[in-house]
A and B are shown apart, each in its own frame.
Chain A
Amino acid sequence: MLSESTSSRFKAGFWLHCFALFVGLCTFALIAVGGLVTSKGVGMAVPDWPNSFGYNMFLFPASEWIGGILYEHSHRLIASFVGLLTVVLAIWIWVKETAGKVKTFGIIAFTLPLLLMGVRTFHVFIPLAILSVPAVIYGIARFMKSPAELRWLGWSAVFAVILQGAMGGFRVEFKLDYLGIIHGTLAQLFFLLVIAIAVLTSQWWPASRDALKQIRIGTTFKTLTVVGLVLIFCQLLLGATMRHQHAGLAVPDFPLAHGKIWPDTDSDSIHRYNQQRMESTAINSITSFQIQLHMIHRVMALLIAVIVAAVSWKVFSSKNLNRPLRQVAAIWSLLTAIQVGLGIFTVIKGKPADIATLHVLVGALIFAASGLTVVFAHQTQSFVSVATEKLASRTLTAALKS
């Protein structure tokens, strides 16, 4: 996949890489504020969108940024900023990689949605969001086909950020919790996309890629990294679902759950749990489904921890595995350990907004690190290909001798 890429991509330039990193940093900040919005239960503090209390969002007076509005409105402004940065990043890559009419087409294709978004009318965003879905998929598909063409990742990033913004707005306008789940999950995918662009434009990447090509890893190990990535994504989806049901902690104790290894979820027990809760915000009552989700989240966490430990053990115990893989595996395992601790802490402390948000942030970092681990592992030679290579070599030698 990525191994087919040419070196032209890596000449993308130092400043482009710095800019991509800056977009990644801003996206991280955006996820942080978005996490606070959900953790504090203030996602609907501004009842309209794309306007804010009838004002153009960018002209909403700072004196009105009170209570939950502060978080929700800041989230909207940072999101707009990230959107703008993403368009600049995509145009930058596109201009660098193309010439002539294709270059002009790219500039128009990226600027047009930006101008349309400037119209600030709700109905403009519906067709934009609908068009964005195939556009994102198309960009990823083109990149997979021609990994040297980084501009297609930029293309996908632009339409992903449009889709993401629209989802956030639709959640407010349509008042549907499940749109919040999509919004929360898409944020993680967008972050991974931006981080991928940042890594692929770095000077560090080509050297690391060449180093990775020198080593051999078993297919089991590679599969394990993919399984880890998929599980982490499912875990993020579960986490987003739990958070966007606005029911607080479905299970308030740890290591037990409602005093048991697996909690009762019959009707009487659910009534009792809700009776015992002393919520200070307008959270929803918990249901049997939410308790099951919470417990699956715990089991998945354990499973992911085991997989990360297995991958890390393999990386650190193998002498032939080199620095880039070790670096990313070390980050992956460290973050996972922190994340498990934060998860436990979130439960024990009754889900305070700051800790719950940290849990979301570290989740985003783990997902990005996991994605990089998969990419790195798949740059190496596998045992199968080496064996095939030897067989081909022997056959060739025999043929030459004869």
Chain B
Amino acid sequence: MNSKNCLIATYFIATVISSVAADISGKVTLKGTPPKEIVVQLDPLCGKLHSADSKVTTRHFVVGQSGELADVFVYLKSEGLSNAPKPTGQTAVLDQKSCLYHPYILGLQTGQTLVVKNSDPVLHNVHPSPVVDGNKEQNKAQLPKGPDLKFIFEMEEVLLKFKCDIHPWMFAYVGVLSHPYYSVTDKSGAYTIKNVPPGKYTLIALHRKSGKPLSQAITLGENGLAANFTIDAPEPLK
């Protein structure tokens, strides 16, 4: 089968799947008071990229007024998903803006290309530090507004850390899964996992500071499903 036929077949399968697939959506909220974020000490070059009166802080808990929690990685446990569609060629993007990674939490499928941009007028190094065998640790320099860097990971890893050692406060996490059924909550705490084939799954919500991941056993029908999570704020340090 040549590549054109392969593409047509993939498109056909994707169309068939999406016609019977449904969405899983919901909201994640934080219960309790989150710990205070730490003010980041920027170096002079990065400091110039922020207004003088703004303070850059860590982004552990991005919480709305009613406890809506952003940056929660919500995904399906991979068991039974070995026939999930392969990456379609769409890339995921991680950008370095004002000496911070955007987004802070990102999902990626194994084999999918992650494009890392440098929108800053500052030199960065991009240093993914996987801990799972088969995912390669790399450390590449990226010039100010330089060409994009591309990364592909072959093994599942939740969460894989990206960091800049030149600016040690810069780090982000990428959830790498073997299937495309994941999402990250937005500022309203909402998430949507699209085009999931009906079936029984374990739905997991992982926030970096939630301790153990929360999970729900779900049965997805053709009409979709709503699943909410409530994450407890960590106990304050005594």
Contact = CB atoms under 8 A, between A and B. Distances in A.
Interface of A: 40-48, 53, 64, 66-69, 72, 172, 175, 252-253, 259, 268, 271-272, 274-276, 278-282, 284
A275 B211 contact: yes
A274 B60 contact: no
Given A68-B168, A282-B163, A175 B211 contact: no
Interface stretch (B68-76, B82-90, B179-187, B230-238): B230-238
Interface stretch (B2-10, B12-20, B133-141, B195-203): B133-141
A274 B213 CA distance: 13
Given A275-B209, A276-B235, A280-B40, A68 B58 contact: no
A271 B212 contact: yes
A47 B125 contact: yes
B237 A252 contact: yes
Nearest to B238: A259
B210 interface: yes
Contacts of A172: 139
B170 interface: yes
A233 to B, nearest CB: 29
Contacts of A48: 141
Contact of A41 (B165, B209, B234): B165
B139 A175 contact: yes
B211 A274 contact: yes
B166 A45 contact: yes
B43 interface: yes
A369 B73 CA distance: 52
The main secondary structure of chain B at its interface with chain A is loop
A281 B212 contact: no
A68 B166 contact: yes
Interface in B120-147: 122-123, 125, 127, 129, 137, 139-141
Interface string B108-125: 000000000000001101
A282 B139 CA distance: 14
A278 B127 contact: no
Contact of B210 (A67, A72, A253, A275): A275
A280 B140 CA distance: 22
Nearest to B163: A282
Contacts of A268: 212
Contacts of A41: 165, 168
Given A275-B234, A278-B37, A47 B43 contact: no
A66 B234 CA distance: 36
Contacts of B229: none
Contacts of B170: 282
Contacts of B60: 278
Contacts of B77: none
Find the residue from B38, B129, B168, B169 having the highest chain A CB count within 10 A. Answer: B168
